[in-house]
Amino acid sequence: MDKPQQIRLNKLSASHPGCSLAKTSQTLAALQKQVKLSKDIETAIRSTAKKMRTVAAPPGQPFLFTNNIDINERLVRSALIRCDDIKYRRFGAGKAKALLVYLGGLTDTNKLEKTVIECLTGRLESYESFGDVNEITNLLITAAEVTVVAKPTEVITNIIRGMPLLLIDGISDALSIDAAKYEKRQISKAENEDVARGPHDAFNETLSDNIALVRRRTKDPDLKVEIFEIGSRTQTAVALLYVDDIIKSGLADEVRNQLLSIQIDKVILSANIEEFLSNRVWNPFPQVLTTERPDKTVAGLYEGRIGILVDNSPTALIFPVSLQDFMQSVDDYTQRPAVVSLIRFTRYLAAFTAVFLPALYVSVVSYHPGMLPSGLAFSIAELRARTPFPALLEAFLMEGLLEIFQEAIVRLPQKLAAAAGVVGALVIGTTVVEAALVNALLVVVVALTGLAVFSMPSYTFGMALRFFRVPVLIAAATLGLYGVIISIILMIVFLCSLRTYGEFYLGDIFDITLIEDWKDGLVRLPAKFLTSRPKRLGPKDRTRIGG
């Protein structure tokens, strides 16, 4: 047998000296150095790029627009991440690429299509010839308002407001297009301040419509409208209205500074602004008159007052005001002066009744029954003999039922309010008497008290009267008529201490120097005698007739 052939293996380095282990180790070490060096270079590049971005973007701005549309789109998308209602629309603008960014639902897409996309598509054949973005906005885009926005934060805010963003490749300027669309309620009838005669239109929730309703009633160029944004997050538009040649000197500046100093993250209702305009937050009496009527707002402006309109709120704020302003209605100026004077006197009597009638009942029944005629005293004693509770507890029980009934009527849907009225009448008017929980006379007293509150022209003022009814009732149960008298004195002192932008809350009631204003206070004289504006407001031009 042949011997097997022996195979001899030699080292690779024997035939290829360059592949030796030492040489390979040296090469690997050099490669590792190159990798480490490349990583250091990458880190340095990233650090330099970060520093360049920090230097490029101004303080407070998230980024800076470039002339590359792809980069700009990524920057905008990163700022509006997880906002699925933001729409991105790319299209060709001649030889260039364009991008529209808009908010679905708050943007008029038809207007955007006609004024931007149709105007730019196929019309920028030689885009390089336009060296200035103003040439594009002035020559091509037909939108009513096109703004070049430099701050990215302002661009993002405009998109959220419904104003689309237009970016064109090769241009670092961002264009904001006026194409906002808001779903709004139509101008309708005033629900809480309806009148027998006079206009029936009322404010809605759109600020521009509300300003237009005011402007429609006057062509006076001295009527100034200043719009601010309040609320760090909501950025709600708030309009300050005043007549420049009538309002007291310095009042507009004071209110403007007060509005600008409001630090709050959201403004949803006009009441959010109202609380910052009141100098006593725990005061139950309103210091700002709220109205949903444009005619009442204009009338207040031409008396020398300030008006404030808040976007998304259907009510206007009017101030400074006094007690008598809450006791007046628009119907007071559409009826005969003699009738109106009687009605105004009735309102003041109703305000007194709303606060002090239950207290008078408790004090007389509990402490001073001898003040009543004998027949009435015996009748009341006979009625109260069937009830097991003292007069104060009876009054509190009826007041509690009345408050619950009023809140139920306000909160229930309109279709159920009538049914709740029937149930309330049965419970308050019949059942509690038949069950001998309270006497029938107290039911009449409480019913008159509720009607007196309902007769107030201002709902917020009526709420204040409801609040003071309880402490006065306790004072009457403790000290009798002395408690009632002390309550009246303390309430007058408290009202005298109130000020609304320098004006006394009681107005001209106790000031003989303001006797000129009595012509339109507790009574109303005919219009030909109302020749001057209220002196207590300090208007620059006091002439109302003949000016």
Are 344 and 392 in the same domain? yes
Q: Among all chains, which residue has been given the structure tokens 């997050």?
A: 233
Q: Do 309 and 375 sit in the same domain of this protein?
A: no
Domain housing 77: 69-177
Of 262, 294, 319, which closes a domain? 319
Concatenate the DSSP letters of all residues of 259-271 into one string: HHT---S---SHH
For residue 15, being part of any structural domain is answered with no
pLDDT score at 527: 86
pLDDT along the chain (547 residues), means of 10: 54 60 76 81 68 58 86 91 91 84 90 86 55 70 84 90 89 88 82 84 92 92 93 92 92 93 92 87 90 93 94 93 90 90 93 94 89 84 81 88 81 72 70 78 88 90 92 93 95 90 83 83 87 88 73
Half-sphere exposure of 277 (CA within 13 A, CB side): 28
Same domain, residue pair 470 and 404: yes
What the block records as the tokens of 537 is: 């407001």
Q: Are 406 and 414 in contact (CB under 8 A)?
A: no
Q: How many domains does the chain have?
A: 3
pLDDT of residue 15: 62
Tens-digit pLDDT profile for residues 197-232? 888 899 999 999 999 999 999 989 999 999 999 998
Residues 298 and 340 occupy one common structural domain: no
User: What is the spatial distance between Cα 486 and Cα 499, in angstroms, rounded to a whole number?
Assistant: 22
Question: Measured in whole angstroms, how far is the alpha carbon of residue 352 from the centre of its chain?
Answer: 32
Q: For residue 513, tell me if it sits in a domain.
A: yes
Largest CA distance in the chain: 156
Q: pLDDT at position 54, please?
A: 45
Q: Assess whether 247 and 344 both reside in one domain.
A: no
247: region left, alpha or beta (phi > 0 left; psi from -120 to 50 alpha): beta
Q: How high is the pLDDT of residue 480? A: 92
Residues 441 and 301 grouped into a single domain:
no
Residue 547: what pLDDT?
A: 46
What's the count of helices (H) and strands (E) in the chain, helices before strands?
Answer: 19, 12
Residues 351 and 306 in one domain: no
Q: If residue 225 lies in a helix (H) or strand (E), which one and from where to where?
A: strand 223-230
Kindly state whether residue 533 falls inside one of the protein's structural domains: no
| 428 lies in the same domain as 503 | yes
Tens digit of each residue's pLDDT (9 = 90 or more) over 310-325: 999 999 999 999 998 9
Prediction pTM value:
0.80
- Rounded CA-CA distance 360/358 in Å is 5
Question: What CA–CA distance (Å, rounded) separates 168 from 174?
Answer: 8
Residue 287 lies in a domain: yes
Q: Give the separation between CA 321 and CA 314, rounded to whole angstroms.
A: 20
Q: Are residues 394 and 480 in the same domain?
A: yes
CB 315 within 8 A of CB 270: yes
Apex CA 485: angle with CA 483 and CA 488, to 5°? 110
